[in-house]
Chains A and B, each alone.
Chain A
Amino acid sequence: METAVRTHAMLCGGTGCMASGTNKVKAALEEEFRKKGIGEEAKVVLSGCNGFCAKGPVMAVYPDETFYQDIRPEDVPDLVEEHFLKGRPYQKLAYKEHEKRIAIPSIHDIPFFKHQVLVVLKNKGLIDPERIEDYITMDGYKALSRGLTLMKPEDIVKVVSDSGLRGRGGAGFPTGKKWELGLRIKSDEKYVICNGDEGDPGAFMDRSVMESDPHAVIEGMILCGVATESHKGYIYVRAEYPLAVKRLQIAIDQCYEAELLGSNIFGTGFSFDLEIYQGAGAFVCGEATALMRSIEGKRGMPRPKLWRSAVKGLWDRPTILNNVETLANIPQIVLNGAGWYRSLGTDESTGTKVFALTGDIHNVGLVEVPMDTTLRRIIFDIGGGISKKKRKFKAVQLGGPSGGCIPDEFLDIPVTYEAIKQSGAIVGSGGMVVMDDSTCMVNTAKFFLDFTADESCGKCVPCRIGTKVMYDLLGNICEGKGKAGDLAVLEDLSQDIIDASLCGLGQSAPTPVLSTLKYFRREYEMHIHDKWCPAGVCRDLSTFFIDKKLCKGCGACLRACPADAVIGEKKQPHTINQKLCLQCRTCWESCKFDSIKILPATARDAGDAELEYLAGISAGRAGNRGQERVVRR
């Protein structure tokens, strides 16, 4: 006789958790269910990305609404015995707040989930992304049926305009305006493109949406086709997102089979075709016009923006290009109305935004919040604050290589397009890299410049050569070869690159340098004039020195040092042999008593008295962390 299913173990099948071993856990769970005789009652379902990537593999159990993290195959027997058989939350794998021992089993009580508002990610962890039935059951394709039968294209454009939705790819251009133009322009052939070429280091929002809810993107695209009277769509995804490509392709095939794609959808006479175009992974192809050249089979390079793509885009036909997240918002807006969407966020920045929260924080993962949420709430409440015990918040990098680093005095601004822009960064596609005070800002700027210099397509000279020159200058500064006047050259060059580049890549490449120069100028000056990297990141600009007054002789640094440069007896203050020291900073990180000071490179040959003096300055002025900076010049 058939039995009903009483519980669903929704195991996360996102890329992050898959890499941490989801498949092994799934096999172990199924095996254990069989052994315990509940194989029929309990079902394991692979869901899309749950968002809590740091603690993967993660699992949510329904109807108990219990959350488990860091599941290893060897824990599975106990977990099944406790939770699935005896109905007690298995404490060992439940979420525990940082530095607290109390387990929080209920998914609704965990701060990471509690403070989020899900619109784009509303199906995350609830559906199997490879089953169209799951999506349909969660009101999927309801918006499309409404859009095709009850609404005219103008009505759809109007509801999108009224909702205030703005492009989630970074620039924040009003989506309704784009669609309106797309509808107004008459042409025998128009295209809809979904931009899934997500390339910012540390950003994975679009990948997650495509992996966990591919049908939402497809429904948004068909609705865009209806609204702009176009009948052909492309999803541009980078080939390095294999799982996203796979799940999108499964979803497209399912749609063709159910005739949700193809000709005469729902018998209304409207037809729409959709295919995936895999990009080769060039960052510049995330730029709309370069992306279109790439689909045409040409080299991905941007064109001057003399006309909009909605007028003349792909193959010189009107083309509406939207970001993955923007499109995933559309079905919700059509279904629930513009007023509902406007009730989230602020007047100018409506709705919610998905952020990829990474860096030196506890809860690395994917979060969706209304756009009036403050940075502090995202970083400290949802993200759980800085992960290392002794470290403090230093800056947050918003918007990837095109964005900027902003310091703690901006923590209370909301994440709206306007407020973030005013602070010197951009919302961008939603990358959010949190940095603690062991980060060197000059080195961070150098990292992003390295990325943009590498990814510049080479069409505009200021971008191609300018970013390289800037990168070399920053390299010199980090190696102790910085000269007075370098900062002025950097600023000057930045302006030239911004003014004379065709596309967003060049126009925003200097932002990381400009924003760090604005908020952390003192750190640059210390690098150049004092040959001192106060965070101890730049090896040529730091000397590590043990303050004898603070050292307890615990031996932590002695054991940690890879070069055997630390010497000293137990319970006696240790010293560092500067001839052997590699400036790797390991000792500094291992010290529990803050007794290791970071001094300028010149201190290596200094006598004891001078070192003591410098350590005093270090403690009093720059501190161990180099926090001091000129806020606004």
Chain B
Amino acid sequence: MARLSIADLQNVRDRNKATFTLRKGEYKAKIVVHMGTCGIAAGARNIMTVLMKEIALSGREDTVVKTTGCGGLCAREPMAMIELVDQTPVIYGNLNEEKITEIFRKHVMHGNPVEKYALALGGETFI
């Protein structure tokens, strides 16, 4: 590391923000992907991969992605829940790569839920 000025300190903080968003729990958007056996069989693994790539691409540092088990609605897997801070969570079902990309770009990036893919409003309790 080269010489640090006081302004550089702030730059280091900004650069590492994503890392500590995770550890300190100060996030603005939370995405929970259902990864039960049914979810994985229906392709949740792929949804997760696409999401992680989208996040890297968008450069968003205040988003966390968690996994959870079967939600009880196995027929509609793969499912994911998206919760923006201070907003009602939205659950999406029957996802595929195109749908989750669209949802991420509209809902997470711009705060506009994609109604046509939405299953329900309201959260679930997660770990």
Contact = CB atoms under 8 A, between A and B. Distances in A.
Contact of A3 (B5, B32, B33, B52): B52
A63 B3 contact: no
Contacts of B3: 258-259
B116 interface: no
B66 A8 contact: no
Interface stretch (A141-149, A328-336, A358-366): A141-149
A141 B6 CA distance: 9
A299 interface: no
A6 B64 contact: yes
A137 interface: yes
B36 to A, nearest CB: 6
A212 to B, nearest CB: 14
Given A6-B64, A63-B27, A105 B127 contact: yes
Secondary structure call for the A interface: loop
Contacts of A63: 21-23, 25, 27, 64, 66
Contacts of B35: 85-87
Given A1-B57, A4-B18, A141 B52 contact: no
A7 B35 CA distance: 15
Interface string A69-97: 00000000000000011111100000000
Given A3-B49, A6-B64, A87-B127, A257 B1 contact: yes
A133 B15 CA distance: 9
B18 A137 contact: no
Interface residues of B, number: 44
Nearest to B31: A6
Contacts, number: 121
A258 B2 contact: yes
A40 B5 CA distance: 33
A89 B22 CA distance: 17
Nearest to A41: B52
A250 to B, nearest CB: 12
Contact of A62 (B13, B22, B48, B52): B22
Interface string A123-152: 000100000111011110110010001000
Contacts of B17: 137
Contact of A89 (B1, B13, B48, B127): B127
B118 interface: no
A274 to B, nearest CB: 16
B40 to A, nearest CB: 8
Query: Closest 10 interchain pairs by CB?
Result: A87-B67, A4-B55, A3-B52, A137-B16, A87-B68, A6-B65, A258-B4, A4-B56, A63-B64, A259-B3
Interface of B: 1-6, 9, 12-13, 15-25, 27, 32-33, 35-37, 40, 45, 48-49, 52-53, 55-57, 63-69, 126-127
